[in-house]
Amino acid sequence: MRKILIPLTVICMMASCTTQEKKIKSMNPFLEAYTTPFEVPPFDKILNAHYLPAFEEGIKQHNAEIKSITDNLAAPDFENTIEALDGSGALLGRVNHVFSNLKEALSNDSLREIARKLAPILSQHSDAVNLNAKLFARVKQVYENKSALKLNGEQSKLLDDTYKHFVRGGANLTVEQKKQLKQVNEELSLLDLKFGDNMLAETNAFKMVVDKKEDLEGLSENVIAGAVEDAKEAHLDGKWVFTLQKPSWIPFVTYAKNRSLREKLYKAMYSRSNNGNEHDNKSVIVKLVNLRLKKANIMGFDSWSAYVLDDCMAKTPANVYKLLHEIWTPAINRAKEEAKDIQAMIEKEGGKFKLESWDWWYYSEKVRKEKYDLDEEQMRPYFELNHVRDGAFYVANKLYGLTFSRLIDMPLYHPECEVYEVKDVDGTAKGILYMDFFPRASKKGGAWMTNFRDQSVTKSGKDIRPVISVTCNFSKPTGEKPALLSFDEVETLFHEFGHSLHGLLSKCHYQGLSGTNVARDFVELPSQVMEHWASEPEVMKVYAKHYSTGAVIPQELVDKVVKAGKFNQGFATVEYLAAAILDMDYHTITQSGDFDVEKFEINSMNKAGLMNEIIPRYKSTYFAHIFSGGGEYSSGYYSYLWAQVLDTDTFQAFKEAGDIFDPKVATSFKTNVLERGGTEDAMTLYVKFRGKEPSTDPLLKSRGLK
């Protein structure tokens, strides 16, 4: 749902097209039907020069579609207004799916410049649709006549969501308020981009160069080989380079014996975009927080959190804080016990210093090894990327009957991408899955799942199957060794794959409700529940095979993994909760004004009772979840915990059935959750699956906090 009038900036761009631009437009792959296999985007034909003309045409077509709805002389009804609106903007959505994904996975200066040009244009377009009085009048009339329409459940939900979308988009505001809202939205879109660009620049700019071999003591051959490769890329042959990409810095702070270098790398990680240079994000944060508050006030809410959560399962900031604080006390108590164990290990090894945050990773690994005789590096040879990926496929096959076939000679946006055709148990198509595993300077950090095409059903009854993308930043192959993952990376692969199943298994009629188009604090359930299978011994024996010998992971090592499963969960839970509380504290501010970001963060953490030995998982200036990517998780970082209450309770249903692949439970989860998208209230869907609302007990027990 987008805008009605072509912005002046777009008209100017269209009027000033050169002959070359006209030629590019006439050959633009976005502006014609895809003739590729499975109608995936023709990445091999898409040039950066194609994006702006495609967006222009997409906006033009969408405007025409909106106008046809508002100019319709027939009385507003579900089909000619709500259904027509859901199906509008096809071209705009098609180009935006590709551009948004590639801007994050394969960025460059040209794409970033296009994004800066597009941000205000798309913001204006979105506002023009949301604030279109004639369009809203038709939507409102259908909504108020709902009881007489005899809609099915999915149609009823689409109508409710459409009406609420317009209200939350400002349709009921005064003329002056709408003017203010447009300006705020445009500024927010630009600040969002600036935050992400600053963070990417800071991440790519830092390199810790090691030129003494003795400073590598403690690191595995695999990690050292990776540092050699990074050094070669930086034209520093004969040295070793460590970066702020997770596959580089996490092994170093976990295993490197040199404490001063661990401190240097760790501090570089947590001071990203907080160095007083051109890429500093502190002023960006202040502006974002104040603008979000201004938008919330315009919409009639006293805080940004109140506005955001009104559309989530949690509903209010009070409910979020209640959950966070309920878990905080047992978590911080456990973390303090863990800190004592670590301090004892420091002293046992002759250290004359107090535990600091940059020591935690290194010494907790030593404690783990002493307590459970388990070293993370012992497991890595058994977690070869291809085997782990196939393990995730195996779980999906056992649970839902899905099969995954590698496709060759498909259009790729990067040579490292893999593409799979996904089929149901009866051989019918479920969709296409792209997977992109390794870090590069052009890719933002982290891991995510997105769509190149949403699932939907056309008016003629054709089921449009989705094209899904999973993007990660895993440890690369080094020398003759394949990509060997840490167990954390194994869980990440299963997590993002769980999101992809939510998209692939979607059986909805309308794209606005299909797949992962659900409440923010419900969307992490399908992803997080998949992580449980990753650590199940029955599953590990399928995918955990030594990369060189093919030997299945020894039972003894599996037992150690299971036994150590709750190790360091105090730390992991507290660092996550600290970030979630920081997010909420920023967005429950009710008075605008300038503030010191560093002091705000310190005060927030002191109020929460965070111990000095732990920092938030994401400090403010690189907290991309809440300050970049559309602020998708602003006032929503808590949702991982909210969803974990659901996912641990879900997995408990399999445990109660006595089989982690129980067909009855799997079918119920598939039909009531994965296939249903956002076609019903999230808790309603969950109760249909589970028969009751979830309990926090399985969560506390799974983390060893109860």
What residues act catalytically? 496
Residues 616, 605 contacting (CB under 8 angstroms): yes
Question: Residue 578: in which H helix or E strand, if any?
Answer: helix 569-587
Neighbours of 268 (CB within 10 A): 20
* Token reading at 568: 């360091």
Across 127-274, where does the E strand assignment appear?
208-210, 240-242
The torsion angles phi and psi of 158, rounded to 5 degrees, stand at -65, -40
DSSP secondary structure code for residue 678 in this structure: T
Under 8 Å CB-to-CB from 220, ≥6 apart: which residues?
Answer: 251, 255, 377, 380
DSSP secondary structure code for residue 130 in this structure: H
- Give the span between the Cα atoms of 535 and 548, in whole angstroms: 22
- Please give the distance of CA 659 from its chain centroid, rounded to a whole number: 30
* Token reading at 375: 């070293």
- Give the span between the Cα atoms of 518 and 681, in whole angstroms: 9
Under 8 Å CB-to-CB from 98, ≥6 apart: which residues?
Answer: 30, 41, 43, 46, 452
Question: Residue 452: in which H helix or E strand, if any?
Answer: strand 448-453
Under 8 Å CB-to-CB from 699, ≥6 apart: which residues?
Answer: 327, 641, 644, 645, 648, 649
DSSP secondary structure code for residue 384 in this structure: B
Across 502-562, where does the E strand assignment appear?
none
Question: Residue 60: in which H helix or E strand, if any?
Answer: helix 51-70
- Give the span between the Cα atoms of 584 and 638, in whole angstroms: 8
Neighbours of 557 (CB within 10 A): 16
The torsion angles phi and psi of 388, rounded to 5 degrees, stand at -65, -45
